[in-house]
Amino acid sequence: MIRAAAGRAKGHVRKTPLLSSPFLDEVAGRRVFVKAECLQHTGSFKFRGGWSALSGLSRAARAAGVLAYSSGNHAQGVALAARLHGVPATIIMPADAPPLKISNTKAYGAEVILYDRAGGASREEVGAHMQAARGLTLIRPYDEPLVIAGQGTCGLEIAAQLAALGVTSGEMLTCCGGGGLTAGIALALAEQAPEIRVRPVEPVGFDDTVRSLVSGRIERNTGPESGYWDAILTPSPGQQTFPILQSLCGPGLVVTEAETRAAIRLAFERLKLVAEPGGAVALAAALFHGTELKGDAVGVTLSGGNVDRTAFATVLAEAN
């Protein structure tokens, strides 16, 4: 399915560069290779899954339109993929999502429906209602094989790019929310680079996947549902993604907000890339959790860059 998704993606999904900097290598104590998915269309890897899903639907299902719920990056990925397929998209977003993500999703032509996350509304319930009422096809953000396959195209690129640099073993750290990107990359590497082990990275307080990998069953976060890393704050790993993670991934890592902010500053200064909080956790782990890693080289996803200007300026202005 990943290879098929890569075939459908050709000419539509960007092959993003794998970047590095001697300054980052020095901080990390090993070579660090950064998959710059913030340069993907819509500013995050989510366009891969959105394109895969839209291009993989039957013609009839596609024509009726699609539905997605998302804090913002899946929203944009599905919205642009739908527009490029000439199909209507309805996107359900939390009212407190970053303003840039909401305005972009609308600008890609989607109908955006906001719901009150703090008020206890379930986005799944809102989505099910819309789906039935309009005959839409729901594009789940991670528990959907077409979406996982789309994210897996990122893994195919990583395997080829690392091999071209002579790196065929080591660890690949992924920013992990529901596990779609992590599962997709893990599946791709299992075949294309079996000596490279994927390890999911989550922020402190939202380490559901890390704990699930330890306990061997799906664990949930018990704290607040919103926070600094808006892109990856899912309550638990997915029903479809977790078994893949469990079978293919190494132990997860947990990073702090201070580590994330320092990683954002270093990505700015050393890679000239804009990283959003949820997209910077894997880099933070590579830079500041070196003692938990193995090998002389590590790969990371920098999975998105959709952050408001004022929030980014605040991080930049902080001392290191």
Chain residues that interact with a second copy, rule: CB under 8 A = 14, 16-17, 19, 22-23, 36, 38-39, 43, 100, 104, 107-108, 265, 268-269, 271-274, 305, 309-310, 312-314, 316-317
| Residue 24 Cβ vs a second copy, minimum distance, rounded to whole Å | 12
* Strand ranges of the sheet holding 89-94, from the earlier edge strand across to the other edge: 111-115, 89-94, 66-69, 137-138
Of the two residues 244 and 273, which places its CB atom closer to a second copy in the complex?
Answer: 273
Residue 38, number of CB atoms within 10 A of its CB: 25
**Structure-block tokens of residue 313:** 């300026």
Of the two residues 23 and 224, which places its CB atom closer to a second copy in the complex?
Answer: 23
Give buried/exposed letters for 251-279 (b at 16+ CB in 10 A, else e).
ebbbbebebbbbbbbbbeebbebbbbbbb
Task: Give the CA distances from residue 311 to residues 79, 142, 239, 261, in Å, rounded to whole numbers and listed in that order.
Answer: 24, 27, 33, 11
| Residue 137 Cβ vs a second copy, minimum distance, rounded to whole Å | 24
Placement of tokens 């005959």 in the chain: 135
Of the two residues 241 and 303, which places its CB atom closer to a second copy in the complex?
Answer: 303
List phi, psi (to 5°) of 43.
80, 10
Q: What's CA 130's distance to the chain center, in Å?
A: 25
Task: Give the CA distances from residue 91 to residues 42, 68, 133, 269, in Å, rounded to whole numbers and listed in that order.
Answer: 15, 5, 14, 34
Nearest to 90 by CA among 125, 59, 46, 134: 134
Of the two residues 32 and 244, which places its CB atom closer to a second copy in the complex?
Answer: 32
| Residue 122 Cβ vs a second copy, minimum distance, rounded to whole Å | 32
| Residue 76 Cβ vs a second copy, minimum distance, rounded to whole Å | 11
β-pair type (111-115, 89-94):
parallel
Within the chain, what is the greatest distance between any pair of CA atoms? 55
What secondary structure letter does DSSP report for 267?
I
| Residue 276 Cβ vs a second copy, minimum distance, rounded to whole Å | 9
Of the two residues 25 and 259, which places its CB atom closer to a second copy in the complex?
Answer: 25
Of the two residues 14 and 289, which places its CB atom closer to a second copy in the complex?
Answer: 14
| Residue 81 Cβ vs a second copy, minimum distance, rounded to whole Å | 13
Of the two residues 37 and 259, which places its CB atom closer to a second copy in the complex?
Answer: 37
β-pair type (297-302, 170-175):
parallel
| Residue 80 Cβ vs a second copy, minimum distance, rounded to whole Å | 8
| Residue 278 Cβ vs a second copy, minimum distance, rounded to whole Å | 14
Of the two residues 108 and 229, which places its CB atom closer to a second copy in the complex?
Answer: 108
